[in-house]
Structure 1
Amino acid sequence: MGSAGGIANHMNINPLVIHDVAKAFPHMRIIVPHFGCGYVFETLNLCWACPNVYIDTSGSNQWMRWMPYDVNLEMLFRKYRETIGPGRIVFGTDSSYFPRGYAKAYFDEQFKAMINVGYSDDEIERVVFGNIDDLLNGR
């Protein structure tokens, strides 16, 4: 979708488009960025149906402002944990653009949301580091 003024419609924008691929290749791990970026219902369904699909908490998540219903980081962290557990949530790998550098504010907001929702220290460690470490190292 990009930033404001980005793409609003495309045949591949809805994460459900990868459902058949995820089902056909159950050992291939797929990461959907930005909590599904405006397709929360569809992404939750995709993750529920396909245990090889992970969610990434990427970036500023400004798309939440454009939703027709209230969405916030606490709701997203709660719903994804309820649906897929903390073992398939990956901290926002797409948190910046060059030349600005790493956007620590995104981490701070997401960390606070996980605390407010009641994530344990172990769950936060999984999301922030452990899950991507497992993915990158084939575990």
Structure 2
Amino acid sequence: MSPETRGYTVLIVEDEDTLRQACSDVLDAFGYRVLLAANGEEAVQVVRAQGEQIDCVLLDLTMPGMNGAAAYAQMRKIKPDLRVLVTSGHDVEDALRHFPKGSAFEYIQKPYSIYELHRRLQELLTSPASSNEA
């Protein structure tokens, strides 16, 4: 367990069951509290119900139904200061095209290592709230 991550809650939004569970297991081992959502609609419901407890969202961009960009917009309406780490197999320029200009989030491209994920989450969670822009 990492002292820098103990107590932080991360919502993992990923439509691939195996990847969602693997991320959950890894983040749990690093000391994060983990919430799960299989799609954008579930993510919005979780943020609506537990938003005050969520410190960060690991958000897949490409999902059936409500995609990551649409879920991001809805979650930020509920919790405007929500920190988001968007993930996708697309490069960052392609991912940015899905979001309105000025959207505040960080980006990590799939595939990523567990250590890279942990490092990026640590940076996002410990940075000033206004500086987390892509």
What is the TM-score of this pair, normalised by structure 2?
Answer: 0.46
Structure with the largest fraction of strand: 2
Structure with the largest fraction of helix: 1
Which of the two has higher C-alpha Rg? Answer: 1
What is the TM-score of this pair, normalised by structure 1?
Answer: 0.45
